[in-house]
């Protein structure tokens, strides 16, 4: 498959926070003609004058080839539009794309690791319903903004359109950052939402014990996986870079906003006060209540995710949350019938049962002892 020459392609990154700025730096380094769009003219003028994003990504020089403008400049010449705003802002930003003169063939890429209100929709599903599945993609994987521009990350670019996933992956790889191409955007997005929820849960729980923190994360991943499966997601997306990989990066990072939000909840800070304290997007605070409602609507038993939503909402005290985590028993595995791959286990169980029945029969037969 021939991949697009980066220099012939134009990308516009909408949202000049820490991740949008970092992704724009990478695309420019990878040779894509890139524009970073800030929310206001004042922000754009400041970024253009400083050639640095002092507010969200201090200390990183913006490449000279990176254009800066405000979102009002529109998208008329874009081949790729990358949405780098928090999920809460996505409904407004997506609704505004046609008025911003989104070209008919431009690809739209969500960078958010959260869900879109009010239904808790994975962003690519919303974009696909509006603009068509094969021009939509998302990006996941362990990718703290600062480390990504300094030393690298392990991105996953996911789209149902192979050419789109591969072209995004090639742009990042040209910039020196590993990027896997995936055809499971919903799985990658739910992996990102699950890891943020699990990192917040681990942050809230770790002082009470690391077994409890691990149990919280494991329960949340298992509960979200059942939802991902219903939506057609694949297990490797939750097991691989976008799920387990990003969970470790986020839960271990002292600077992680989601983990820190959990620590603040454990300190007794109300959930509603945390965004102002952290001053940046904390996706899990919004995504966990949305996830909880979406899982309930889908008929999935999700006691730990819904308990976490109640902890965030101030309805469940921390000790009760930890007790819930420590006592939740996952549903038993679904053993297969002997016509499937569970046949070996089934045969072993049947042999043990038959041996026990034989022993019991021998005990009942007069004079059978010792035979
Ligand atoms: N930071 C990271 O390391 C990573 C972040 N992500 C994901 O990227 C997404 C964005 O997060 P991040 O960059 O970190 O968040 P930040 O809080 O650093 O920045 C958010 C940015 O979005 C802008 N914004 C919000 N709403 C709009 C809007 N309607 N129009 C234009 N701009 C808007 C904000 O502008 P203003 O300043 O005016 O409010 C701000 O520049 C999140 O989903 C996050 O999970 C993914 C991987 C890593
Ligand atoms: O998604 C991230 C790293 O991959 C960033 O995590 P935080 O939003 O918790 O800082």
Exposed e or buried b for every residue in 72-99, given b needs 16+ CB within 10 A? ebbbeebbbbbbbbbbbbbeebbeebee
What gap in Å lies between CA 65 and CA 76, rounded to an integer?
19
- CATH number of the domain that 311 lies in? 1.10.1040.10
Residue to substitute in 12, 13, 14, 17 for testing ligand 1 pocket (most ligand atoms within 8 angstroms of CB) = 17
By annotation, the residues acting in catalysis are 195
Q: Which of 56-65, 305-314, 355-364 has the lowest mean pLDDT?
A: 355-364
8 Å CB contact between 108 and 122: no
**Beta bridge mates, 61:** 52
Domains of the chain: total: 2
* Residues 6 or more apart in contact with residue 344 via CB below 8 angstroms: none
Phi then psi dihedrals of residue 317, to 5 deg: -65, 155
N residues, the chain: 371
Residues 139 and 260 in one domain: no
Q: Is the CB of 141 under 6 A from ligand 1?
A: no
Helix-, strand-, coil-residue percentages of the chain, each rounded to 5:
55, 15, 30
Q: How many C-beta atoms lie closer than 10 Å to residue 57's C-beta?
A: 21
* DSSP H helices in 136-209: 145-150, 162-174, 185-205
In a domain, 310, yes or no: yes
Band of pLDDT at residue 371, cut at 50, 70 and 90:
very low
Band of pLDDT at residue 331, cut at 50, 70 and 90:
confident
- CATH number of the domain that 25 lies in? 3.40.50.720
User: What pTM, to 2 d.p., does this model score?
Assistant: 0.91
Mean pLDDT, residues 258-263: 98
What pLDDT score was predicted for residue 2? 65
Residues 150 and 173 in one domain: yes
Residues 124 and 220 in one domain: no
Minimum-distance ligand 2 atom for the alpha carbon of 282: 8
Structure tokens at 285: 């605070």
Residues 175 and 231 in one domain: no
Band of pLDDT at residue 8, cut at 50, 70 and 90:
confident
In a domain, 178, yes or no: yes
In a domain, 354, yes or no: no
Last residue of a domain, which of 154, 183, 212?
183
* DSSP H helices in 267-342: 274-278, 283-297, 303-312, 318-327
Residues 124 and 232 in one domain: no
Phi-psi region of 160 (alpha: psi -120 to 50; beta: other; left: phi over 0): alpha
| Tens-digit pLDDT profile for residues 55-111 | 999 999 999 999 999 999 999 999 999 999 999 999 999 999 999 999 999 999 999
Determine which residue's CA is closest to atom 5 belonging to ligand 2.
Answer: 144
Going by the annotation, the residues of the binding site for NAD(+) are: 15-20, 145, 257
Residues 244 and 115 in one domain: no
Give whole-number Cα distances, 202 to 73, 195, 213, 273, 309, in Å. Answer: 41, 10, 4, 19, 14
Exposed e or buried b for every residue in 325-343, given b needs 16+ CB within 10 A? beeeeeeeeeeeeeeeeee
Phi then psi dihedrals of residue 51, to 5 deg: 50, 40
Give me the helix-helix angle, 185-205 and 283-297, nearest 10°: 110
Last residue of a domain, which of 127, 150, 183?
183
Which residue from 114, 81, 80, 64 is spatially nearest to 286, judged by alpha carbons? 114
Helix (H, G, I), strand (E, B), or coil: what is residue 202? Answer: helix
What gap in Å lies between CA 271 and CA 263, rounded to an integer?
11
Residues 168 and 200 in one domain: no
In this structure, the residues whose C-beta lies within 6 A of any atom of ligand 2 are: 113, 142-144, 199, 246, 249-250, 256-258
Domain span at residue 132 reads: 8-183
Last residue of a domain, which of 141, 164, 183?
183
Q: Please give the mean pLDDT across all residues of the chain.
A: 93
What gap in Å lies between CA 91 and CA 62, rounded to an integer?
29
Minimum-distance ligand 2 atom for the alpha carbon of 255: 10
Q: Which of 4-13, 132-141, 264-273, 356-365 has the lowest mean pLDDT?
A: 356-365
Q: How many C-beta atoms lie closer than 10 Å to residue 271's C-beta?
A: 20
In a domain, 2, yes or no: no
8 Å CB contact between 305 and 292: yes
* DSSP H helices in the chain: 18-29, 41-50, 90-95, 123-131, 145-150, 162-174, 185-205, 210-230, 235-239, 246-252, 257-266, 274-278, 283-297, 303-312, 318-327, 343-364
Give whole-number Cα distances, 211 to 107, 200, 208, 215, 306, in Å. Answer: 43, 15, 9, 6, 20
């Amino acid at each position: 498959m021939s991949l697009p020459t980066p220099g012939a392609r134009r990308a516009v990154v909408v949202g000049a926070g820490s991740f949008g700025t970092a992704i724009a730096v990478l695309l420019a380094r990878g040779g894509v003609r890139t524009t970073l769009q800030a929310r206001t003219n004042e922000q754009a003028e400041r970024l253009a004058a400083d050639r640095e994003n002092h507010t969200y990504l201090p200390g990183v020089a913006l490449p000279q080839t990176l254009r800066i403008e405000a979102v009002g400049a529109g998208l008329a010449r874009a081949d790729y539009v990358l949405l780098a705003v928090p999920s809460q802002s996505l409904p407004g930003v997506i609704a505004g794309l046609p008025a911003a003169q989104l070209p008919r063939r431009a690809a739209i890429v969500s960078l958010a690791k959260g869900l879109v209100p009010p239904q808790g929709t994975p962003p690519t599903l919303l974009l696909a319903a509006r603009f068509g599945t094969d021009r939509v993609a998302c990006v996941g994987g362990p990718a703290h903004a600062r480390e990504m521009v300094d030393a690298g990350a392990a991105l996953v670019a996911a789209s149902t359109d192979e050419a789109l996933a591969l072209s995004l992956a090639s742009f990042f790889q040209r910039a020196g950052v590993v990027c896997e191409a995936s055809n499971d955007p919903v799985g990658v997005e739910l992996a990102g939402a699950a890891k943020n929820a699990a990192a917040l849960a681990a942050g809230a729980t770790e002082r009470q014990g690391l077994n409890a923190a691990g149990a919280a994360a494991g329960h949340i991943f298992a509960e979200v996986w059942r939802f991902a499966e219903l939506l057609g997601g694949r297990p490797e997306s939750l097991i691989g870079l976008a799920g387990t990989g990003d969970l470790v990066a986020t839960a271990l990072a002292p600077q992680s906003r989601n983990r820190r939000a959990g620590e603040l909840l454990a300190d007794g800070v109300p959930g509603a006060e945390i965004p102002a304290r952290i001053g940046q997007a904390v996706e899990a605070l919004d995504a966990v209540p949305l996830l909880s409602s979406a899982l309930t609507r889908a008929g999935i038993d999700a006691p730990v995710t819904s308990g976490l939503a109640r902890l965030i909402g101030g309805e469940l005290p921390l000790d009760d949350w930890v007790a819930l985590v420590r006592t939740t028993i996952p549903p038993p595995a679904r053993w297969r019938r002997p016509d499937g791959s569970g046949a070996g286990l089934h045969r072993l169980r049947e042999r043990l049962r038959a041996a026990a029945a034989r022993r019991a029969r021998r005990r009942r037969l007069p004079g059978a002892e010792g035979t």
